[in-house]
Amino acid sequence: MIESLDITPTMFDNATDKYQAIAKFLASKGVDADIYPQGSFALGTVVRPVTRTPDAGYDLDLICQLRKDREEQSPGELRSEVERILKDSELYGGKLELFDQCITIHYADVGKVSFSIDVVPAANESDINKQRLVEKSQVPMLIRSSIAIPMYQEKVYTWATNNPKGYREWFEEINRPFLAVVSEKQRRALFESNARVYASIEDIPDSHLRSAVQRVIQILKAHRNVHFSHLKDGDVLKPISAILSTIAAQVAQPMNPWTSVFDLLKAVLEDFHTYGHYRNPNMTEKVFTETYVGKSLIARRNREWILENPANPEDNLVDKWNENPDAAQAFFNWIDVAYKDLTMAFDLKDNEFRAKMDSAFGESTVSKVWGSKYRQSAPRIITSSNAMPKPWRMQ
């Protein structure tokens, strides 16, 4: 079931081939750039899309980092340079959709699943800004890969600091021992189920393997997608994946690499649940840290939520919670639901367990893997007189 939340090796390779083709095309047009994925593809935490419509797709976030400093061009000029080359090409011109923060390239569906690549132009961050970040950072070595991206605000492009390479380096350092303990077993399983894709077991790249850390993030993202798809304003309230990845990795860091997916998932959800106590209006940071010793990943200072990006100390990953208090409330409400669905459902009767999984990950997703398994009778509505309304449950 967990493996079904991931995209297939073929889908992963299709995405990789297409972004490498973009890199070659831009190079052929004289663009001197370092082009690399960021986000879920870079971290190995992609999940299959779950929406109310059958025509869901997945995308890849791509950084196009020109080998020039931000001082050499205005952010608008840099954005226009990359946009013009793609727009004028016969290969990509007809596939483009322009957004304020990225240039999206749409591709033909593969196996009834659509795919797109979001290209984000970037330049090298200035030395002055890097030095400022180094002085603030808890992991100064990560700052060297910082970049500047054009950010559209108030009808004009300005520079914004980003550091996807640094974040990936930080994540992979934590994930490495967790990946090492599963690599041999996973390679054998992948080869047996995808013999047409791989020439041999040795042919399977590390990018196709998934550790307990990566699986936990995928489970949380899949559950989040279903949960928020049923909420009013769910697209606005849905937490960004970086929050889940950051906390999951930091919770995993001191744990035994042999920790199971279930035990790590439970630990991460319990950690999130603990930070939910910050919603108490009387809970100060001092009281919280004294009550919950060692819990300092998320903070709330002067009523401001803070979760620092490990690779950019000036990037607050939960700044949206400060702009919209409903987002923080929706997040911790979701954590409560996820904890019940993902850690307590195993004690239920088969048909109740199946109903929980259907509502947690989507009935169509679960049916593709289990068919009618655990469904001894027709699924029934799961209710609790003490629980808050759950409109995402089966009706």
Predicted confidence band of residue 386 (pLDDT cuts 50, 70, 90): very low
Q: Which is higher by pLDDT, 368 or 144?
A: 144
Residue 388 has pLDDT above 80, yes or no: no
Which residue type does 75 have?
A: P
Percent of the chain residues past pLDDT 90, beyond the cut: 60
Query: Which residue's entry shows tokens 């970086």?
Result: 242
Residue 378 has pLDDT above 70, yes or no: no
pLDDT value, residue 13: 82
- pLDDT, one tens digit per residue, over 260-288 is 999 999 999 999 999 999 998 889 899 99
pLDDT value, residue 207: 79
pLDDT value, residue 11: 80
Least reliable range by pLDDT among 39-43, 227-231, 355-359: 355-359
pLDDT value, residue 115: 85
pLDDT value, residue 288: 93
pLDDT value, residue 379: 44
Residue 382 has pLDDT above 70, yes or no: no
306: left (phi over 0), alpha (psi -120 to 50) or beta: beta
User: Which residues does 193 contact at the CB level (< 8 Å), separation at least 6?
Assistant: none
Residue 165 has pLDDT above 50, yes or no: yes
The angle formed by the CA atoms of residues 340, 346 and 347, to the nearest 5 degrees, is: 95
Residues in the chain: 395
pLDDT value, residue 110: 63
Least reliable range by pLDDT among 82-96, 159-173, 204-218, 323-337: 204-218
- Model pTM score: 0.87
pLDDT value, residue 387: 37
Instruction: Please count the CA atoms within 13 angstroms of the CA of 180 that sit on its side-chain side.
Output: 8
Residue 190 has pLDDT above 70, yes or no: yes
3-state SS record for the chain:
CCHHHCCCHHHHHHHHHHHHHHHHHHHHCCCCEEEEEECHHHHCCCCCCCCCCCCCEEEEEEEEEEEEEHHHCCHHHHHHHHHHHHHHCCCCHHHEEECCCCEEEEEEEECCEEEEEEEEEEEECCHHHHHHHHHHCCCHHHHHHCEEEEEEECCEEEEEEECHHHHHHHHHHHHHHHHHCCHHHHHHHHHHHCCCCCCCHHHCCHHHCCCHHHHHHHHHHHHHHHHHHCCCCHHHHCCCHHHHHHHHHHHHCCCCCCCCHHHHHHHHHHHHHHHHHHHCCCCCHHHHHHHCCCCCCCEEECCEEECEECCEEEEECCHHHHHCHHHHHHHHHHHHHHHHHHHCHHHCCHHHHHHHHHHHHCHHHHHHHHCCCCCCCCCCCCCCCCCCCCCCCCC
pLDDT value, residue 370: 65
Q: 121 with 81: CB under 8 angstroms?
A: yes
- pLDDT, one tens digit per residue, over 296-337 is 999 998 889 999 999 999 999 999 999 999 999 999 999 999
Q: 278 with 300: CB under 8 angstroms?
A: yes
Instruction: Give CA–CA dist 34/28, Å, rounded.
Output: 13
Residue 80 has pLDDT above 90, yes or no: yes
Q: 57 with 116: CB under 8 angstroms?
A: yes
pLDDT value, residue 352: 73
User: Which residues does 226 contact at the CB level (< 8 Å), separation at least 6?
Assistant: 50, 359, 360, 361, 362, 392
- pLDDT, one tens digit per residue, over 86-114 is 999 999 999 999 999 999 999 877 666 77
- Mean pLDDT score of the chain: 86
Residue 381 has pLDDT above 50, yes or no: no
Predicted confidence band of residue 376 (pLDDT cuts 50, 70, 90): low
- Residue 295's nearest CA partner among 281, 280, 312, 276 is 276
**Paired tokens of 51:** 């929406």
Residue 242 has pLDDT above 70, yes or no: yes
pLDDT value, residue 384: 36
**Paired tokens of 65:** 């980092």
Least reliable range by pLDDT among 53-57, 225-229, 292-296, 313-317: 53-57
Q: 160 with 149: CB under 8 angstroms?
A: yes
Instruction: Give CA–CA dist 9/187, Å, rounded.
Output: 12
Query: Which residue's entry shows tokens 């052929």?
Result: 28
pLDDT value, residue 390: 31
pLDDT value, residue 50: 56
